[in-house]
Amino acid sequence: MSNEKKIPYKIYLEESEMPKAWYNLRADMKVKPAPLLNPGTGKPLTAEELSPIFCDELVAQELDDTTPFIEIPEEIREFYKMYRPSPLVRAYCLEKKLDTPAKIYYKFEGNNTSGSHKLNSAIAQAYYAKKQGLKGVTTETGAGQWGTALSMACSYFDLDCKVYMVKVSYEQKPFRREVMRTYGASVTPSPSTTTEVGKKILAEHPGTTGSLGCAISEAVEVATKNPGYRYVLGSVLNQVLLHQSVIGLEAKAALDKYDIKPDIVIGCAGGGSNLGGLIAPFMREKLRGEADYRIIAVEPASCPSFTRGTYAYDFCDTGMICPLAKMYTLGSSFIPSANHAGGLRFHGMSSTLSQLYHDGYMEATSVEQTSVFEAAEQFARVEGILPAPESSHAIRVAIDEALKCKETGEEKTIVFGLTGTGYFDLVAYEKFNNGEMSDYIPTDEEIAASIAKLPHVN
């Protein structure tokens, strides 16, 4: 207990202690994640095939599964210093409220205007685009977290930024849209008449409010048809997990400063970018047999790719124009129930995390949204941060694990990722406050139906 006193509420690294290289999880995996396939030929995609879509340097990072540490360019490290290191917070108040002997820490990524960890990869992708002499980048955004982060990054490097925002979000989340515009991005509701694919979809479904898959298709079309543009993506890809490793590297360095060894590491999982980043250095030790940790992925019960999906090749987008990736998937035609409030709506999961899960290196669990918002509220009231619904999935399981410790008397150390803030999710909080929130768990039949539509790939 006297040792304990020394641990501050927030552990900050000095600038000199910040990571100078990202960690590439794949380098230490004995079984590598399956390669991306060309949907036309069924063969692994080459750098040449990927270069019209992504920046050259990012293509190299995407395909590199052998280099363990990749230097973070000086310019990106300078930008990181504006909002990083992010604090590793000891949740003293939550522990007290739960009356648990567990020690709870969270790595908080919400202290920047984009409100989430997404900026860690956005700035890297913008940097490489600038370095390649490009004019700009295109992307899609759903709720807007990724679009906001990318707008900030592009504004910093004076790059043009074209965001295709799912029409229903564009209309229902005008504030997200305005943040992006304040950062100078052009934001187009998708589907739009600015692309061939958009026009086609509008002709076929005149009243559609759009989907992420459609917005991806539009963004990719614009990137490939406009010289000097490339497409960027905020999750799922290996390059994104690589950039997000800064989360875990900082967290581990902060823990090491105080000789703290976590028993459990918990992260929410949609496409996997935050989870892959948070667990990276812990998984490294686990893969190398140097240490053991319980690593838990938490997904929404309404979109349970790890816990109820199948491990197979599938399209990354609903429009089926993107490469095929081997992953735990519910099928690219799966759409989570409209009553699902937060993000974490992707039908599949990062190939890297899928392989690790398949090989038994991590666990996965799913939680229902009402209990997620209960955890969010409990956390907010004692820890003073209004968490994003996505992050609150991890809070839910961290609280559950801490309560188990209360029963058993174990003093486990729990670390979880608090990926962002909920300032733009207050419509969902309002529903919860009014007792109008409900849960929806897809039936076996629903999941079987979308899985039946998986592409036939060996």
Q: Decide: is 184 part of the binding site for a copy of itself (CB under 8 A).
A: yes
- Round to whole Å and give the CA distance between 49 and 40: 12
Q: Decide: is 383 part of the binding site for a copy of itself (CB under 8 A).
A: yes
Q: Which of 32, 381, 404, 453 touches a copy of itself (CB under 8 A)?
A: 381
Question: Residues 51 to 110: which contact a copy of itself by CB under 8 A?
Answer: 81-83, 93
The answer to whether the beta carbons of residues 426 and 172 sit under 8 Å apart is no
SS3 70: strand
Q: Which stretch binds a copy of itself (CB under 8 A): 29-37, 128-136, 174-182, 440-448?
A: 174-182
Q: Decide: is 112 part of the binding site for a copy of itself (CB under 8 A).
A: yes
- Round to whole Å and give the CA distance between 168 and 208: 9
Q: Which of 51, 386, 400, 413 touches a copy of itself (CB under 8 A)?
A: 386
Among residues 16, 18, 274, the alpha carbon closest in space to that of 121 is found at 274
Q: How far is the CB of 389 from a copy of itself (least distance, A)?
A: 12
Rg (CA), the chain: 21
**By C-beta, is 294 or 431 nearer to a copy of itself?**
431
- Round to whole Å and give the CA distance between 217 and 344: 20
Q: Decide: is 377 part of the binding site for a copy of itself (CB under 8 A).
A: yes
| DSSP 8-state code for residue 158 | T
Q: Decide: is 385 part of the binding site for a copy of itself (CB under 8 A).
A: yes
The answer to whether the beta carbons of residues 300 and 453 sit under 8 Å apart is no
Q: Is the peptide bond before 85 cis (omega within 30 degrees of 0)?
A: yes
**By C-beta, is 110 or 198 nearer to a copy of itself?**
110
Q: Which of 292, 433, 453, 457 touches a copy of itself (CB under 8 A)?
A: 433
Q: Decide: is 4 part of the binding site for a copy of itself (CB under 8 A).
A: no
Q: Decide: is 429 part of the binding site for a copy of itself (CB under 8 A).
A: yes
The answer to whether the beta carbons of residues 415 and 265 sit under 8 Å apart is yes
Strand 264-268 to strand 413-418: parallel, antiparallel, or no bridges (unpaired)?
A: parallel
Residues that bind a copy of itself (CB under 8 A): 8-10, 12, 14-15, 81-83, 93, 111-113, 115, 119, 152, 155-156, 174-175, 178-179, 181-184, 377, 380-386, 421, 423-424, 426, 429-430, 432-433
